[in-house]
Amino acid sequence: MKCRHCANELKFVFLDLGHAPASNDYLNAEQLTQSEIHNPLRLFVCEECWLVETDDYKKAEDLFARDYAYFSSTSQSWLRHAQAYCDMIENRLQLSSSSFVIEVASNDGYLLKNFVAKGIPCLGVEPTDSTADAAEKLGVPTLRKFFGTETARALVNEGQSADLICGNNVYAHVPDINDFTAGLEIVLKPGGTVTLEFPHLMRLIESVQFDTVYHEHFSYLSLGTVKRIFERAGLRLLDVEEIPTHGGSLRVYGCRTADSRATSPRVSELLEREEKFGLKKLDTYLDFQQKADVIKNDFLSFLLEQKKNGKVVAAYGAAAKGNTLMNYAGLKTDLVQFVCDAAPSKQGKFMPGSHIPILHPDELAKRKPDWVVILPWNIAAEVVETQSAVRAWGGKFVVAIPTLTVLP
């Protein structure tokens, strides 16, 4: 396999999680009796450009199908994050009714609906029909395409160049990151701004967030690697912010190379911190597997202890990261009886691999489990708040990552 950015031969495995199904391939009852495809889930690190990337087995068209089950609007904290971003960027860029905003991977309109409400013209680019349908019901114009140079040129030919291009949690999901980034440059107006948010590789390594690894994530990104990818596409980093979403993410601001705006000193400061952390040293990557295995084994020991003591364990949040954790640990319904999730698109289905049933959150009060494992640990505070009734019958919340922790 060769690096998807620089084409260097990949020799070093960063993480091997065995074989797993696609993390968002939720199953219906009929599919439980059919064979389920499991592909190797491995990450390599490129010692030339330091991009961390998956071993490719599935095409994006298969991973992000028309009935894609992830809807961004399910999380209230994510909706608040999107609204705060829109308010901030409107002021920072002085956006108005004469501006044009494009969001790449606009999902169910969770973000662009804020620009619609502000009277700022916008367009979502979203390949999955299930989420695009929801966005259009909110009045968000949506182009049902994967984004890249071909889509970008078509937009430009139609006079749809952007003052702002935003992409939240899409950059890691694109198989051809060079073509995607080149597309950003093509559709961006001179003087326009690109903002991308993605989980920060340094935080993944620091907090052993191995459950964020799944087939839908093709790349795991540092600022240094993004700088290199941007420059190849004719873009320049303007600024960077460290934000708390998804366990620690970056929001990068980019522009065309010839843009007259000065680069924020925060870019060089973070690049220096990444280097000191060791993101350009192979040893930083090669000891990660052992740390992930410790977390998995501690989690399994906890579940086995609860089973031995006759306790009922449920989970909350049928998130992709939860599927990675449970499939790597080899869990079935004997250790985790059910998962509750607020997304109607997942309720009544089963987790891929583990086949644990996904139920409405109301089932927690009916079944009264002793323990609730919060799988999307990045929104643990939101889950504890919305499901506080669990404590009324003596139930407890626990997360497995970065360490097994019973929540206060």
Domain 288-406 has CATH 3.40.50.720: yes
Whether cis (ω within 30° of 0) applies to the bond prior to 402 is yes
Confidence (pLDDT) at 62? 52
Q: Using 50, 70 and 90 to split pLDDT, how confident is the model at 64?
A: very low
Class of residue 15 by CB neighbours under 10 A (exposed 0-12, middle 13-18, buried 19+)? buried
Confidence (pLDDT) at 277? 98
The mean per-residue pLDDT over the stretch 169-193 comes to: 96
Q: What ranges do the domains of the chain cover?
A: 72-285, 288-406
Of residues 247 and 292, more confidence is placed in 292
Buried b (16+ CB within 10 A) or exposed e, 232-264: bbebbbbbbeeeebbbbbbbbbbbbeebeeeee
CB atoms within 10 A of CB 173: 18
Mean pLDDT of the chain: 94
Cα separation, 388 vs 380, in Å, equals 12
- The beta strand positions in 248-378, using DSSP E, are 249-256, 313-316, 339-340, 358-359, 371-374
Q: Using 50, 70 and 90 to split pLDDT, how confident is the model at 57?
A: low
Confidence (pLDDT) at 70? 62
Q: Is the pLDDT of residue 186 over 50?
A: yes
Confidence (pLDDT) at 72? 72
The first and second tokens of residue 127, run together, are: 């390949």
The CATH number of the structural domain formed by 72-285 is 3.40.50.150
Cα separation, 320 vs 234, in Å, equals 33
**Degrees to nearest 5, angle at CA 375 with 199 and 394:** 140
Q: Using 50, 70 and 90 to split pLDDT, how confident is the model at 1?
A: confident
The first and second tokens of residue 145, run together, are: 């395409």
**Degrees to nearest 5, angle at CA 351 with 347 and 352:** 135
Q: Is the pLDDT of residue 142 over 70?
A: yes
CB 46 within 8 A of CB 220: no
Confidence (pLDDT) at 63? 47
Confidence (pLDDT) at 60? 47
Question: In angstroms, what is the C-alpha Rg of the chain?
Answer: 21
Give pLDDT tens digits for 328-346: 999 999 999 999 999 998 9
DSSP code of 321?
A: H
Say whether 288-406 and 72-285 share the same fold: yes
For 405-408, which contacts have Cβ atoms below 8 Å and span 24 or more sequence positions?
Answer: 407/374, 407/380
Q: Is the pLDDT of residue 66 over 50?
A: no
Residue at 112: amino acid letter: L
